[in-house]
Amino acid sequence: MSNTSAFFSGCTTMAAALAAFIALTGARTPATAHFDAITVGRIDVEEPDGTKRLVISNRAQFPGDFYKGHEDRRPDRSDSAGMLFVDDEGTESGGLIWSGSQKGDGRLSSGLHLSFDRFRQDQTLVLEQNDDEHGSTAGVTVNDAPYWRTSSIADLKAFSAEATKLPQAERASYWQRKREEGKTSRGRVFLGTTDDRASTLQLRDSQGRVRMQLRVAADGQPEIRMLDEGGKVVKAVAPDR
């Protein structure tokens, strides 16, 4: 065999070995691509080990929720497009979803929801807007979510499964017990607008009960309300008309 033939034969052998190595190890060559425009149904941003960190999706391919790398079904998200944020361990940590449509009977349903979750827990900061035939609301909500060792997203799913087995009349009291035990999230602050076109700031106690409310009605009338544990207004401050 000539030296030239031996050289090309050696190169061919090395190339075949390299291809086999890549196929067996899954090695990938880093690459950067540039596009003027791209049209996709869904984009999954992943770490090298396959852990999802960000999912951007249309409505048809929108994922469920993620907990420690496992995805569970969420039929309640079937009408939204948007993106999900996922933390280092593969657990959902918030997201941005939106929807908007007019039903066959003419009813309008539109909304946007941006939220950030506590670790292995539910949302603690929410920016939300909703619009339907009853009116339009928009606001910021701050929630008090339990520490994950007290109750986690996995526990909340277990609570929901237990609640669905109860008669309808007993479910409200079941969730009330969980709130009193500190096992579920409680709303603490809301700042936004209401269906009757008022602007309001609501401050709640550790059980999620409104205890103070600052409100300006659509006609411009301002009022400060203080409430007891049962929701009764015990004092109100408003200027004389």
The per-residue pLDDT for range 2-53, each reduced to its tens digit, is 555 554 555 566 666 656 656 665 556 668 889 999 999 999 999 999 999 9
Same domain, 127 and 209: yes
For 178, the token pair is 């969980």
Same domain, 216 and 122: yes
Same domain, 6 and 42: no
pLDDT of residue 31: 82
Cα–Cα distance between 72 and 56 in angstroms, integer? 17
pLDDT of residue 18: 58
* Nearest alpha-carbon partner for 48 in 88, 8, 81: 88
On the question of pLDDT at 70 being above 70, the answer is yes
Q: How would you class 231 by CB atoms within 10 Å of its CB: exposed for 0-12, middle for 13-18, buried for 19 or more?
A: exposed
Mean pLDDT of 61-85: 92
For the chain, percent of residues with pLDDT exceeding 90:
73
Cα–Cα distance between 175 and 183 in angstroms, integer? 9
* Nearest alpha-carbon partner for 192 in 127, 133, 123, 99: 127
pLDDT of residue 83: 97
* End position of a domain, from candidates 59, 81, 102: 102
pLDDT of residue 7: 46
Tens digit of each residue's pLDDT (9 = 90 or more) over 117-146 = 999 999 999 999 999 888 889 999 999 999
Same domain, 114 and 171: yes
* End position of a domain, from candidates 102, 133, 161: 102
Beta strands in 12-152 (DSSP E): 42-46, 52-57, 65-67, 70-72, 81-86, 92-102, 108-117, 123-132, 135-144
Beta-sheet pairing, 199-204 with 210-216:
antiparallel
Annotate 23-49 with b (16+ C-beta within 10 A) or e (fewer): eeeeeeeeeeeeeeeeeeeeeeeeeee
pLDDT of residue 20: 64
Q: Domain residues for 49?
A: 34-102
Same domain, 174 and 87: no
Domain count, the chain: 3
| DSSP classification of residue 227 | E
* End position of a domain, from candidates 43, 73, 102: 102
Same domain, 116 and 233: yes
For 2, the token pair is 């000539």
Same domain, 184 and 219: yes
pTM of the model: 0.80
Least confident of 98-107, 145-154, 218-227: 98-107
Same domain, 14 and 62: no
Same domain, 135 and 88: no
Tens digit of each residue's pLDDT (9 = 90 or more) over 77-128 = 888 899 999 999 999 999 999 998 887 787 888 999 999 999 999 999 999 9
CATH value at residue 219:
3.90.930
Same domain, 40 and 120: no
Same domain, 9 and 43: no
Same domain, 45 and 90: yes
pLDDT of residue 2: 54
